[in-house]
Structure 1
């Protein structure tokens, strides 16, 4: 098994992101690995021609991503994990591989967001795209399944960091 000396934790504040952060923190502590946290706001809706860009100031979006990143860094610090934070605006399928390569990480930790039926069809098939774009290992964390009638995770206003893999 390869040594995981540099780990990239993808965090967006959602339930899935929190599982990735917690599982990645435990692994990083055991391995005494250097930890990087990446928060990405997905701007794909803006690129598709919606008029949200003019309605939401760029500083507000940037501040939102930074606050989610700060939240993740504080949670790690409370566990005794020192981490370096990074944030980006763009498609997570572009940003995660970019940061993984730039930071020369050995492992990426992402949370899996379960989708069903119409949501999977509507969102398109992106299964495996992250895996096809990176040259390091990827750990996909799975939190407890949410039952019917229960909201699936909180939202922080930040786009999903971790696409399904």
Structure 2
């Protein structure tokens, strides 16, 4: 059913839940390839000095993202899955949709945490916004 699965992983509790559920789905479907994506948001304006992001801040953030990604890929491989990690930069919805199109993914898996109405109003949900742009099915692993 799903042969190419894109898992979105950020190391959070929700991301770990999505990783587990996505790995379960990949095993059940005998997916040919499982891809893991970590997206680094662009740094906030306070980190920019005279229009330039200090290299040490960018390098540190990139190293942290790579560690999280490598951890996730290792967990997938422990489950016997063929897994490859990808690191993207920018807005999560745009990067997830673009990566799914590029990989010709059959399924995107990501985590979601229920939030208060105020929190949802303040910041839109990645999973809800992704529905509009995704080129394939989406599995949203919901945690409390």
- What TM-score do the two structures reach when normalised by structure 1? 0.77
Secondary structure of the structure 1 residue equivalent to 2:118: helix
Q: Give 1:80 shift.
A: 1.8
- 1:157 maps to which residue? none
> How many angstroms apart in 2 are the aligned matches of 1:118 and 1:62?
31
Secondary structure of the structure 1 residue equivalent to 2:105: coil
More strand by share: 2
- 2:11 maps to which residue? 13
* Structure 1 residues 35 and 123, CA gap change in structure 2 (3 angstroms): same
Q: What is the aligned-residue RMSD (CA, Å)?
A: 1.8
Bigger relative contact order, structure 1 or 2 (CA pairs below 8 A, ≥6 apart): 1
> How many angstroms apart in 2 are the aligned matches of 1:54 and 1:40?
19
- What TM-score do the two structures reach when normalised by structure 2? 0.87
Q: Give 1:65 shift.
A: 0.8
* Structure 1 residues 74 and 125, CA gap change in structure 2 (3 angstroms): closer
Q: Does 1:41 align with 2:40?
A: yes
- 2:101 maps to which residue? 101
Q: Give 1:118 shift.
A: 2.6
Secondary structure of the structure 2 residue equivalent to 1:24: helix
* Structure 1 residues 125 and 95, CA gap change in structure 2 (3 angstroms): closer
Q: Give 1:85 shift.
A: 0.6
> How many angstroms apart in 2 are the aligned matches of 1:127 and 1:111?
8
> How many angstroms apart in 2 are the aligned matches of 1:51 and 1:77?
36
- 2:30 maps to which residue? 32
> How many angstroms apart in 1 are the aligned matches of 2:14 and 2:103?
23
- 1:50 maps to which residue? 46
> How many angstroms apart in 2 are the aligned matches of 1:107 and 1:126?
16
